[in-house]
Amino acid sequence: MGFKMGIVGLPNVGKSTLFNALTKTAAAQAANFPFCTIEPNVGEVAVPDARLDKLAAIASSKSIIPTRMTFVDIAGLVKGASKGEGLGNQFLANIREVDAIAHVLRCFEDGDVTHVEGRVDPVADAETIETELMLADIESIEKRLQNIVRKVRGGDKEAVQQERLMRAALAVLEDGQPARTVDVDAEDEKAWKMLQLLTTKPVLYVCNVGEAEAAEGNALSEAVAAMAAAQGNAHVVISAQIEEEISQLEPEEAQMFLEEMGLTEAGLDRLIRAGYELLHLETYFTVGPKEARAWTVPAGTSAPKAAGVIHGDFEKGFIRAETIAYDDFVTLGGEGPSKEAGKMRAEGKAYVVKDGDVLHFLFNT
């Protein structure tokens, strides 16, 4: 599995420019007017992982298949979206479908690029969108509470659980806090996710700065960093303009350009890494002469569940997982030497997959 990240923000903050760069396409029309993105644009990108290339080289794999990450460029939001202003209703429907939110904030001054509010204040912009999402959640909860009254009175266990969770969410929302601040018990997690509240989505703030500020950021991005830290959210500093430029270059040219700008890596790499941390995702590998492939799983995934990501039959008929740690595989020079050195382990159903594991699954058909 990969994961789906929605790129959101007010109009003209650089969402579509960033999307174009990340997906190396011009599918999203980047123009200097609100709502240039009318339909959500969806693009998949390969997740860069230098470990996969090393493994493939050692195993002489004929093909390399990275894991994938999906970006969704969602139409610009304006104040009043929860009441249908602008493209609000469409925005809110699209955002329910993503795993996490990359909230692009304008952290650059440019008189040639209009701001929908007439000023540059990324913290206020973040508050505008968060408020609209909270208002939408409140409205959604109030409607649903009305619809399950009869079931609750009848003692329907599922309805009683839903009502309890919705009222817990409503309490924090009415207090001006997002639903993600609710402390949910493990037994309620499934029902909680089924509520599909917008403000339960994890948030990654993307500070879009000017080219000259891409390496160090600026006062505006520092303000966002402080806000993110206070909320327990993450942030990254990126220049969408630089990302768009390097997306058109060959790898060697792109690396030279990055070095000239004082950057050690592309913004895409940092954005994906931050996204993985945000959603607690890990990568394991399958390696052989035919292909070297990366697979994404949530942290804490058992070996049978990890096998199921490849194919459902692998999980159903799981016997064991032959496991080699990435460092051992690379240091010792492959599967054979690792096995001879006693570094290949036979792990059973209770084994929790670790990031970087090289796995070979045995299963009954």
Count of beta carbons in the 10 Å neighbourhood of residue 164: 13
On whether the CB atoms of residues 246 and 318 are closer than 8 A, the answer is: no
User: Looking at residue 15, what is its pLDDT?
Assistant: 85
Burial of 307 (0-12, 13-18, 19+ CB in 10 A): buried
Average pLDDT over residues 322-327: 97
pLDDT at 80 over 80: no
Q: Which residue has the higher pLDDT, 364 or 119?
A: 364
Average pLDDT over residues 323-341: 97
User: Looking at residue 35, what is its pLDDT?
Assistant: 37
Burial of 125 (0-12, 13-18, 19+ CB in 10 A): buried
Can you tell me whether residue 17 is helix, strand or coil? helix
106 falls in which pLDDT band (50, 70, 90)? very high
Largest Cα–Cα distance of the chain, in whole Å? 68
Plot region of 356 (φ>0 → left; ψ -120 to 50 → alpha; else → beta): left
pLDDT at 203 over 90: yes
Count of beta carbons in the 10 Å neighbourhood of residue 154: 10
271 falls in which pLDDT band (50, 70, 90)? confident
Q: Which residue has the higher pLDDT, 2 or 15?
A: 15
Average pLDDT over residues 338-363: 96
Average pLDDT over residues 292-313: 95
Give the C-alpha separation, 252 to 244, whole Å: 16
pLDDT, tens digit, for every residue of 85-98? Answer: 444 456 677 788 89
Q: How would you classify the pairing of strands 318-324 and 358-363?
A: antiparallel
Q: What is the torsional sign of CA 79, 85, 86, 92? A: positive
β-bridge partners, 106 = 208
pLDDT, tens digit, for every residue of 209-242? Answer: 998 898 889 999 999 999 999 988 899 999 998 8
Give the C-alpha separation, 4 to 285, whole Å: 21
Which DSSP letter does residue 352 get?
B
User: Looking at residue 23, what is its pLDDT?
Assistant: 72
Q: Write the CA distances from 254 to 5, 26, 51, 142, integer angstroms.
A: 25, 18, 20, 51
CATH number among 3.10.20.30, 3.40.50.2300, 3.40.50.300, 3.90.700.10, domain 4-278: 3.40.50.300
pLDDT at 34 over 50: no
On whether the CB atoms of residues 220 and 107 are closer than 8 A, the answer is: yes
Q: How would you classify the pairing of strands 281-287 and 291-298?
A: antiparallel
CA angle 198/201/204 to nearest 5° reads 125
Count of beta carbons in the 10 Å neighbourhood of residue 264: 10
33 falls in which pLDDT band (50, 70, 90)? very low
Q: Where are the domains of the chain?
A: 4-278, 300-363
On whether the CB atoms of residues 122 and 223 are closer than 8 A, the answer is: yes
CA angle 7/191/232 to nearest 5° reads 45
Can you tell me whether residue 336 is helix, strand or coil? helix
Q: Which residue has the higher pLDDT, 151 or 87?
A: 151
Average pLDDT over residues 280-288: 95
What is the percentage of the chain residues whose pLDDT exceeds 90? 53
pLDDT at 327 over 50: yes
Q: Which residue has the higher pLDDT, 18 or 29?
A: 18
247 falls in which pLDDT band (50, 70, 90)? confident
Give the C-alpha separation, 246 to 249, whole Å: 5
Q: How high does pLDDT run on average in the chain?
A: 86
Which DSSP letter does residue 70 get?
E
User: Looking at residue 39, what is its pLDDT?
Assistant: 52
User: Looking at residue 76, what is its pLDDT?
Assistant: 57
β-bridge partners, 46 = 68
Count of beta carbons in the 10 Å neighbourhood of residue 330: 18
CATH hierarchy code of domain 300-363: 3.10.20.30
